[in-house]
Structure 1
Amino acid sequence: MIILDGKKVSNDIKNEITAQVEKMKARGEKVPHLAAVIVGNDGASLTYVNSKVKACERVGFKSTMIRMSSTTSEIELLDKIQELNEDDNIDGFIVQLPLPKQIDTQKVLLTVNPDKDVDGFHPTNFGKMALDMSTFIPATPFGILELLERYGVETDGKHTVIIGRSHIVGRPMSILMGRKGFPGNSTVTLTHSHTKNITQITSQADIIISALGVPGFLKAEMVKDDAVIIDVGITRVPDETTEKGYYITGDVDFENVSKKASYITPVPGGVGPMTIAMLLKNTLLARERHLLR
């Protein structure tokens, strides 16, 4: 069994990006600039955005965090997004989700300029991805592809089962794993909450990508020997015996499933670190495209 070490690979990617940024500086070019908009005071969102800011500092990017109150109106947020769309100093930006209930998330995502949509959520970018055109791939699926590629995990002709059909992970992964090329060329089954006999399906899978958000959902009896397991789930489980008062766990019963798997991602330290690394990679790509415009 081999651990797909997202922490190590993400550090490798950050080192590669840092080297590219140094070359940009040497040529007298402006370094990439990532902005993040956060609305409200959600603890997990604040932690995540702060980690993105630190990652920008680590690779030499410029970063801007824009904090707006939880009472921000939809029109105020849309105006801020339009301002970022028109700011030539900003190469890419994200709007941290979830948003307060008074704001229509779809309207917000549609307002983001696709050329600055480094999250890869805009329908234009999603459509280009589905057509195998050059575009921004959502950061978490992009990170999964990078892990599979760097560890040389065979995907050609394999049966990939995806658990969860979200627009952020499950649905894009179903497209990407079925595309021509590597990683890809696999036969994909997309499962979800209405899927019948899910154990029968997962037990036939060569590769399982679980993005359900249910702690310990994938059990050893649901997995065949030598399967590749990608655990995208990340849940805070209350635990008063720990200093933080909770522990982080994934969708997979790691202790038991790891005994059968050929490759497996841990939680934490697997897909999570890759998400931020690939957001940086998308921002670098946005900067390079900006230079061509």
Structure 2
Amino acid sequence: MSTTAAISVRGLEKSYKDNQVLKGVDFEVARGSIFALLGSNGAGKTTAVRILSTLLRPDAGTALVDDVSVVDDAAQVREAISLTGQFAAVDEILSGRENLILVAKLRHLPSPGDVADGLLARFDLVEAGARKVATYSGGMRRRLDIAMSLIGSPSVIFLDEPTTGLDPEARLEVWRVVKELTAQGTTVLLTTQYLEEAEHLADRIAILHGGTIIANGTLAELKALLPPAQVEYVEKQPSLEEIFLSLTGSAAQGPTAQGPTAQGAQS
């Protein structure tokens, strides 16, 4: 297994009674990159993440995070990682700042108030910092959740379907935050059902299907797996997402926001 990768997985297997979810999964994630694990519901994405984050033991295979075994040295792995699940793990009774301070104290960091203030500024939550999280929008909760996961400076972050249930504007907010993380050297393993999310964010994409990885590569490499398509020239119509973002004044933020143009389309 490579010692240059942030995450290395070989022959990973996991069953729940008679249901074999993972049947020998292999992949590596380069340091400081975004790796997207795609798959439909029940494909085993969350199971793989739970194993890599030491919450679940595999039946077979090996997995290293920062060259440390997730089975043999789980405590050391937990010190180097952070996990953000499908739903924001924030306390709605507390304010955003209080949530951050609580986690900083649990990690025994000095000056937890300073840690909280720095993260509120980084994630554009300063004005909302004193408000109870119950008043936050979905995008704000998710940004706070990711901010909490950064306390202690983990080198690897697992994001398990982080934009599930978010509206288009909130999803774009999360995309921005994820890109900023890797720009600062953090490794991100992202699971998602949204293909456009993987297209916009991932350096490499793996498709998990039937318990194994059936494809793994860059977006360009995956596109090359299909035969060349016949090109026809059609008038491109705006998608519903583009219309929504344009009408709500968020078009400039969206990576896909654009007006209708005449261009080549593949069919």
TM-score norm. by structure 2 comes to 0.30
TM-score norm. by structure 1 comes to 0.28
Q: Which has the higher helix share?
A: 1
